[in-house]
Amino acid sequence: MKNVKHYQLIILVSVLLIFVEFFGFLHLDWWSRQADWWKHQNYRLLSDVLRPIASLRQMWQLNKQLEDLQYRYNEAAAQLGRLRTLEEENQHLRSMIDNEALDYEASVISAPITSFAQSFVAAGSEQGVQQGAAVVSQGNLLGVVEDVHRFQSRVLLLQHMLDVGVVVQTSNGVKGLVKGNGRDILLTEVASTAGLQVGDLVYSLGQQGMSSGLVLGKIAVIMEQNPSLSTKTARLESLVNFYEVSLVEIR
């Protein structure tokens, strides 16, 4: 009932306004002219009042455009990262294919698994991985397979080889044994009279389960020699980081 009364009142007021305007009593044109005159007289005041509102509206539009550009930039950056990863994987695969000495039947290509405590690869007994196999990337020896599970394997990196070692030879023909101390890769058992030089590359000589010619790193520091010892030690710098490569070979 209340709504009906409201509608009736609105209709009545509308009819009354039309009637008054028809007989010339309302003078809407006069009110319109007065409003135009007031706006003309107070143009500067209106401009000062409306200018901040216009500026806020423009800033809001610019902010929306900036958010859209930021979103598009993040999307493009993510896509570029994916493309770079694919490019690195393709380059690694191409280098593996171009290696004519690679025995494809005895090699498994896998991806490293990042872990804070231990190092793994995403291949295991189901893929033919065997304990003691060499883990290689671009001709660089990174470690050996220590433990094999069904679908992944744990890798013993060179710096963690405390009890085992790799027989090596430098680019100048100096022979020794590469081991680790838990942090660094060390070239040990080198004759004290041997001529080690910083920057020399160190290669594997070949032993059971490991081929020759694999790069273990380059000599970074030659430790101070104890005159009473018949051997000396050098610290190596690996040319490839296990945690930064996308693919490795397991031989």
Cβ contact 250:210 at 8 Å = no
Number of domains present in the structure of the chain: 2
Please, what is the average pLDDT of the chain?
79
C-alpha 93, offset from chain centre: 20
pLDDT of 67 higher than 90: no
Read off the pLDDT band of 105 (50, 70, 90). very low
Tokens of 97: 């294919």
The per-residue pLDDT for range 186-243, each reduced to its tens digit, is: 999 999 889 899 999 999 998 877 888 999 999 999 998 788 888 999 999 999 999 8
Residue range(s) defining the domain that contains residue 228? 104-250
Identify whether residues 11 and 123 lie together within a single domain.
no
Scanning the structure block, which residue is given the tokens 């598009």?
A: 72
Ranges of H-type helices in the chain: 2-22, 28-41, 43-98
Query: What is the residue-wise DSSP string for 168-195?
Result: EEETTS-EEEEEE-SSSEEEEEEETTS-
pLDDT of residue 102: 47
pLDDT of residue 85: 65
Give CA–CA dist 202/205, Å, rounded. 9
pLDDT of residue 109: 79
Within a domain: 131: yes
Within a domain: 49: no
Identify whether residues 123 and 238 lie together within a single domain.
yes
Identify whether residues 26 and 111 lie together within a single domain.
no
Cβ contact 235:186 at 8 Å = yes
**Averaged over 15-25, what is the pLDDT?**
53
Domain CATH number, residue 119: 2.40.10.340
pTM over 0.85: no
pLDDT of residue 74: 75
- Among 43-47, 58-62, 171-175, top mean pLDDT goes to 171-175
The per-residue pLDDT for range 29-58, each reduced to its tens digit, is: 655 565 566 556 666 665 666 677 777 777
Tokens of 240: 């490839």
Within a domain: 204: yes
pLDDT of 94 higher than 80: no
